[in-house]
Structure 1
Amino acid sequence: MENPKVSIITTTYNDKENLKKIIAQVKKQDYDNIEYVIVDGGSTDGTREVIAEAEAYFGDRLKWISEKDKGIYDAINKGIRLSTGDILGCCFDQYAGPDVISKMVAIMEKEGTDGVHGDLYYMEGDKVVRYWHQGQGNIRCGWMPGHPTLYLKKSVYDKYGLYKTDYRISADYEFMIRILKNKKVKLSYLPEVLIYMSHGGTSTNSLGAYLAGMKEGHRALRENGVRFAWFMDLCRTLRVLAQFIKKM
């Protein structure tokens, strides 16, 4: 019986050198049933030529589009719609090893869950600046999976919908609140670092961006009918602070 197909989604815009690095990361994965989906926002820096090189390697396992979008979450939604895999996830950074996808699928299959997540490092060059070790938990206590490590069955998106594009920073947080609040989506936890993520993303590149992200996060809790939202905000902030303390 063929292994479940995993669709890996990368969004990009005028960032061809970084795209080359991400493509190389996907190529290194040893899992034997990967579909790669690239969503380009209409780049003018030679990104299409990089995608053409990837197409020569992946063949019909590569799906891609290049057109204007309304931001990263709109682009991710396009990638989800293009995907034909049984399990979907995004890759914007570096996998911790060539067997990350294999391990993810194996634990999902073993435990019969809807998705999987693990730990991650936030990196500045070769330096770890934040260690996201979440384990398993309850969102009402401020716990949340590390989104870059989260891979889900396509059926989860079919049931709960895609990312809300009217969120500028925290659509991923809103989505995770939406799918996890009723404890019906079951996740496996792989207790190891799966992703090395570049520090300085949309929600972490400044104090202002972090505060804006917290504001959107509070909105996400309220819109999803989660009680005691301010308490959850406090718990979430404390967990983030603890991640900096745990850095290596």
Structure 2
Amino acid sequence: MPRPTLSIITVNYNNNKGLIATLNSIKNQRFTSYEHIIIDADSSDGSKETIVAYSQETSHLSYWVSEKDNGIYDGMNKGIEHASGEYLYFLNSGDCLLEDILLQIPFDGTQYIYGNIKVIPVNEKPWVWTYPDTFDTFFLANNKGWISQQACFIHRSLFANYQYDTNYRIISDWIHAVRSILFEKCTYKHIPLTIVEYDGGGESSNYDRTWTERKRWIKENVDETFFQAFTELEAFRETGLGDLVPLLNQTHKFKKRIKKVIILLYKINSFFSFHQPKQTEK
């Protein structure tokens, strides 16, 4: 049997309603070169029965299991171990692919392909999170510097040397992106498409916990100077002026008057001068 282009990995725990919606969004795709892997964490809400019924409806479900695990990234790693596709895509229960979106993805060998997501918050109106075409240091250190795994199609080669770090409960997909794109210089590109409706009520939506984990990882894995600059930039971001920096930094007056900010950005850029990403394809 030929290798599928895509391995869709779904992790679920006691979210049968969300799981049903996710499965329906996959079944409604006309794209056929995929396998589906479901890792259930021993749910007790009917999810297992839903998976059994789904397995009888589709030939794309190549593997599923329902057993206790050590968190979402442990479940995702289990899925990686059983994946055979050229690309891996993580679509957890409650997240739904847009209609026929998979037919529009250019699986051309680029190692990180990412689009945009439509966020469905719990008590707010939905909105589209549009990501930048290139990764820069301000995006990394900004509160919006987070590319959801549900927006990303990741080449299997990027999981050959390391999987998701289960020591982190929220940011391991962010760590994988930073390592792959900024440190390992993998190829990447942004496609101007909205990929998925993303469940905005998940644990990763807790920004306080997210930033606590990010700072912990940065402090343990990168230069101390960068960590200090990152902390300073976070404090600046919290003033509400952070979103103005990329725009105002283009003007001569801003550069002249806000010398401290420029020095701060220089500290961050000096760290990444040795880790420049490859030119992205347009």
TM-score past 0.5 threshold: yes
Distance 1:3 1:158, change over 3 A: closer
Which has the higher Rg, Structure 1 or Structure 2?
A: 2
Give the Cα–Cα distance (whole angstroms) in 1 for the partners of residues 96 and 229 of structure 2. 34
- Over 3 Å counting, the alpha-carbon distance change for 1:114 and 1:213 in structure 2 is same
Matching residue of 1:38:
38
- Mapped to 2, the partners of 1:3 and 1:32 lie a distance apart of 12
AA matched with 1:118: G
Q: Does 1:202 align with 2:203?
A: yes
Residue 115 in structure 1 maps to residue 101 in structure 2: no
Secondary structure, aligned partner of 2:99: coil
Q: Show the counterpart of 1:245.
A: none
Q: Does residue 1:219 correspond to 2:221, yes or no?
A: no
Report deviation, 1:114. Answer: 0.8
Q: Which amino acid aligns with 2:209?
A: A
Alignment check: 8 A CA contact 1:177 1:221 kept: no
Look up the match of 1:19: 19
Pairs within 5 Å for 1:118-197: 118-124=115-121, 128-143=125-140, 144-159=146-161, 161-182=162-183, 184-197=185-198
Deviation at 1:127, TM superposition (A): 5.8
Q: Deviations over 1:21-65 (max 9, x none)?
A: 111011111212110000000112222211111111223643101
Q: Name the SS for the 2:103 alignment partner.
A: helix
* Cα distance between partner residues in 2 of 1:123 and 1:146: 13
2: CA distance, partners of 1:17 / 1:53: 14
Using the alignment, how far apart are the partners of 1:49 and 1:73 within structure 2?
Answer: 23
Deviation track 1:116-135 (CA, whole Å, cap 9, x = no partner) reads 10111211379644432112
Identity of aligned residues (%): 25
Cα contact 2:39–2:65 (8 A) shared by 1: yes
Do 1:73 and 1:163's aligned partners in 2 also have CA atoms closer than 8 Å?
yes
The answer for the alignment partner of 1:56 in structure 2 is: 56
User: How far did residue 214 of structure 1 move?
Assistant: 0.3
Q: Deviations over 1:97-130 (max 9, x none)?
A: 21x22222x2x31xx4112101112113796444
Query: 1:246 — aligned with what?
Result: none
Task: Give distance in 2, aligned partners of 1:172 and 1:79.
Answer: 14
Matches of 2:81 and 2:113, distance apart in 1? 20
- 8 A contact 2:4–2:35 mirrored in 1: no
What stretches of structure 1 of length at least 5 have no aligned partner?
243-248
Q: Which amino acid aligns with 2:160?
A: D
Report if aligned partners of 1:8, 1:36 keep a CA contact under 8 Å in 2. Answer: yes
CA distance in 2, matches of 1:21, 1:140: 36
Q: Give the SS at the match of 1:58.
A: coil
Distance 2:102 2:220 in 1: 33
8 A Cα contact 2:36 2:60, kept in partner:
no
Taking a change above 3 Å as real, the CA distance of residues 237 and 190 of structure 1, as seen in their structure-2 partners, is farther
CA deviation string 1:55-112 (max 9, x = no partner): 11223643101110001111111111111111101112022221x22222x2x31xx4
Q: Note if contact 2:131-2:147 (Cα within 8 Å) is conserved in structure 1.
A: yes
Residue aligned with 1:59, SS? coil
TM-score when normalising by structure 1: 0.82
Q: 1:3 to 1:67 in 2, by over 3 A?
A: closer
CA change 1:96–1:59 in 2 (3 A) is closer
